[in-house]
Amino acid sequence: MRRFFVSPQDLNQQKINIIGDEHHHLKNVCRLSEGERIELLDGAGSIAIAEIEKIDKKQTIVNVISKAKLKPAQKPSLHIYLSLPRFQVMDVIVQKLVEMGVETLTPVLSERSFIKKPSKELDAKISRWNKIALQACKQSGRPWPLEFKKPQTLKAAIDESNPNESLFMYEGESAMDIKAALKQIQNPESMAIFIGSEGGFSPEELKLFELKGLKPVTMGDLVLRVETACIAVCSIIKYHFNMRG
């Protein structure tokens, strides 16, 4: 059954008008017909089964048949702080982080990030990445949308982190591997994971992590592409904490 996202306010109604991108996807991409049933998600923990009543040029009208609450997302929730890579690489990363169950993604502005300060271009890209994330949710069956946080400087992101529930992934030499680092983290509710862009983090930025008490963590001797590192670290964390979703 096809899934579509609506607002929590809409899901409280018996009859819902689906408009915008979701209507376009239903009508022109999925090519659904009147009388077919779909699933509606509100991104806040509720799901509904609805029947398509009418498909117009600019909206689809559906009747809600049943509603239910979804199981809460598994813990720990994963929060990625990613030094911005090239935009085309970010497109792939967003899709894969959705599939890996990451809860939030914060674009980080650092010395070696592709963009080093907020801009209209970055705002436009975040809008695009939200659309990519929504499509990835539908494809993967994920009921919880990936939340994009406001871009931050690396220092601000480090300052707000909890060293006891954070991983600083580093491409350089490190005395601690990820297996040992995860053993030191006991039953976390959430985890912040810092990942550098194509150029990694600078020596000055390494000192910022050290001042916060965040030790560099390695996944091995090979230098991974940023998209590979994102998938690998999430996979290792999910395996370590026995997370299925």
Number of domains in the chain: 2
Report the C-alpha gap between 215 and 48 in whole angstroms.
45
Verify that 114 and 153 share a domain, yes or no: yes
Domain end call among 17, 45, 69: 69
Facing residues of 152 across strands?
A: 108
In a domain, residue 245? The reply is: no
Q: Domain of 224?
A: 77-240
Residue 182: enclosing H or E segment and its boundaries?
A: helix 178-183
In a domain, residue 30? The reply is: yes
Three-state DSSP class for residue 53: strand
Verify that 107 and 60 share a domain, yes or no: no
Asked if 28 and 64 touch (Cβ cutoff 8 Å), the reply is no
Task: Give the pair of three-digit tokens for residue 106.
Answer: 């914060």
Domain end call among 50, 69, 88: 69
Residues 42-83: pLDDT tens digits? 888 889 999 999 999 999 999 999 999 888 778 999 999 999
> What per-residue confidence (pLDDT) applies to 245?
62
Residues 101-157: pLDDT tens digits? 999 999 999 999 998 888 888 889 999 999 999 889 888 888 888 999 999 999 999
Verify that 55 and 134 share a domain, yes or no: no
In a domain, residue 63? The reply is: yes
Residues 124-140: pLDDT tens digits? 999 999 999 988 988 88
Verify that 143 and 182 share a domain, yes or no: yes
Verify that 23 and 82 share a domain, yes or no: no
Backbone CA torsion sign across 3, 18, 58, 95: negative
Verify that 57 and 9 share a domain, yes or no: yes
Could you tell me the maximum CA-CA distance found in the chain, to the nearest angstrom?
62
> What per-residue confidence (pLDDT) applies to 172?
78
Verify that 202 and 151 share a domain, yes or no: yes
First to last CA, the chain: 19
Enter the pTM of the model.
0.87
In a domain, residue 47? The reply is: yes
Domain end call among 39, 69, 99: 69
Report the C-alpha gap between 122 and 128 in whole angstroms.
10
